[in-house]
Amino acid sequence: MARTARFYQRLTRSRSGIGSYTSLWLGPDHLLLVTSSGYSESYQRFYFRDIQCLVAADSIRYGVFNAVFGTILGFCGIAAAIAASSTGVSPWILLFLLPALLLLLWNLYLGRTCKVTLMSGVQSVVLPPLSRFRRTRKVFARLVPLIEAAQAALTPPPLAPPPPPAAATAGAEPPTPAEDAPATSDRTDAPDQSDRSAASAQPAVQPAAQ
C-alpha cells in the first residue's frame, strides 16, 4: 500500500541553542518541532486538535542584549575619543567598536524577544524557534485558523432547546373530576313510605246490608 506523502513547510529558521539547533515546521494536521544536535535528530508533533493554547510572553534577552552591546559601544567610544586626542584612534578600538555597533543595530531591527509556550492536554512545551515577536505574530496568524478549523470539527452541535409547555386554551373549562359527578341510585321506583302509612290508616268501608 502506498504511503501518504506528507509535505512540510518551514515556519522558522534553525535557531541555535546549547549544542543543538531547533526549527519549526507546518504539517497537514500538526506542528513539527525538530531538534538537531549534529549527530541525531528528535521530532515532536503537536496535532492541531490537541493544542489548547499558545502563549507568548516577554523575555529579558532583548534588554540584556541592548545593555551589553550598548556598554561595549560606550566604552569603545570613550576609548576612541581619548586615543584620538593623543595618538590617534587605535585599530584595536575599531575592532570592538564596529561589531558592537552592528550587533546593537541588528538587535533593534529584530525587535523584542519573547518566550512561546505551547500547551496541550498532557504537556507544556517551550518553542525555542519562536524567540521574536515579529516572527511569532506571523506564525500565529497561520496557526490559529488551522487550529480553530481542526477543533471545530470535533465540537458537538449545541443541544436543541426543550419545547415550550402547551398553553391552555382560552375559555376552556377544566374537566370535571369523576368524584364530583352525582351518585346514581340502583333502587327501583317504589311508593313513598308515608303514602303507604296514610292508606293503611283509613278504615275499610263495608257496604250496608240491604
Report yes or no on whether pTM surpasses 0.75.
Answer: no
Instruction: Characterize the bridge pairing of strands 15-16 and 124-126.
Output: unpaired
Residue 112 to residues 14, 100, 123: CA-CA distances in angstroms?
Answer: 19, 18, 27
Q: Map grid coordinates 278504615 to a residue.
A: 203
pLDDT tens string 86-125: 666 667 777 778 888 899 999 999 999 999 999 988 889 9
Average pLDDT across the chain, whole number: 77
**Are the C-beta atoms of residues 136 and 82 closer than 8 Å to each other?**
no
Model confidence band, residue 76 (pLDDT cutoffs 50, 70, 90): confident
Q: What fold does the segment set 9-59+113-143 form as a domain?
A: PH-domain like (2.30.29)
Q: What is the mean pLDDT of residues 149-167?
A: 74
- State the CB neighbour count (10 A cutoff) for residue 143: 19
Q: What is the mean pLDDT of residues 118-143?
A: 92
Model confidence band, residue 174 (pLDDT cutoffs 50, 70, 90): low
pLDDT tens string 24-75: 999 989 999 999 887 888 999 999 999 999 999 999 999 999 999 989 888 8
pLDDT attached to residue 40? 85
C-alpha–C-alpha distance, residues 77 and 93, integer Å: 8
